[in-house]
Amino acid sequence: MTITIMHLYYDILNLYGENGNVKALKMYFETLGIDVKIKFVTINDTINLKDVDLIYLGMGTEQNQKLVIEHIKKYKNQFQSYIENDGYLLSTGNSFELFGKNIIDKNNINYDTLGIFEFVSHEENFRLVDEALCKTSFSDNYIIGFINRNSVIKNISDNYLFEIVKGIGNYPKNIYEGYHYKNFYGTYLIGPLLVRNPHFLEVLANKIIKDKDNNFKINKNNLEIEKKAYNEFMNNYYVDFINKN
């Protein structure tokens, strides 16, 4: 089996070492004996989503986020078809704002984005910085991550990805974080997300494998170190909080 990952805007949407998410997926698949092909695609490259098993976009500066808008909009129909046909797409940090209706910046300038989803993004004159502790329907384990952004998202409705236990949601005092639709996973959580949350990595990777070949036997696990690091972080920072709540 070969799994193809498209790392989109790998060079300009890669703050905080977000390429670690792709490295984590590659390591996990290869541990299972699966070949991994990574397509690195950026500005001025042609986007072709045929035979792509997962698309990944990471966090970027506000300037770089705006830089990719005109390029990615050329491929709206491809992305919409890919998502509606259950293609996997993971978008972390502010990159997932690209899939909403628009981004309104601090100067009230409107940037029309892909418009695949109905949510809207508003940049603020303050930053939201916090560690987040979340629940998810995908795992019995809590999700952890770091948030550092200056925008809020509205009109998510019921399509949230995580439920906030401690930290900041899609906007202040909101208890929901991210966006989830079919196999689209968008979240502000960085860290990188899949490195810090090996259980989520496992769930996502195994779903991709089973959709590719339901008969493939997943009989190995090489996430002991990652799970130990996760457990130690939880014990050091969140056990007392969880027990009190």
Per-residue pLDDT of the chain (245 residues; tens, 9 = 90+): 999 999 999 999 999 899 999 999 999 999 999 999 999 999 999 999 999 999 999 999 999 999 999 999 999 999 999 999 999 999 999 999 999 999 999 899 999 999 999 999 999 988 889 999 999 999 999 999 999 999 999 888 789 999 999 999 998 888 999 999 999 999 999 999 999 999 999 999 999 999 999 999 998 777 999 999 999 999 999 988 888 77
Residues 7/9/11/17 CA torsion (nearest 10 deg): -60
Q: What is the pLDDT of residue 172?
A: 87
Name the one residue in this structure whose structure tokens are 């960085």. Answer: 190
Q: What is the pLDDT of residue 146?
A: 95
Q: What is the pTM of this model?
A: 0.96
Domain count, the chain: 1
CB 216 within 8 A of CB 210: yes
* SS (HEC) of 157-172: CCCCCEEEEECCCCCC
Token code pair at residue 188: 């502000």
User: What's the rounded Cα separation, in Å, for the pair 100 and 126?
Assistant: 21
Q: What is the pLDDT of residue 245?
A: 72
Among 118, 111, 48, which Cα is nearest to 81's?
48
CATH number of the domain at 103, please.
Answer: 3.40.50.880
Among 20, 201, 180, which Cα is nearest to 10's?
20
How far from 103 is each of 12, 80, 95, 111, CA to CA, in Å?
18, 18, 11, 5
Q: Which residues constitute the domain of residue 223?
A: 2-244
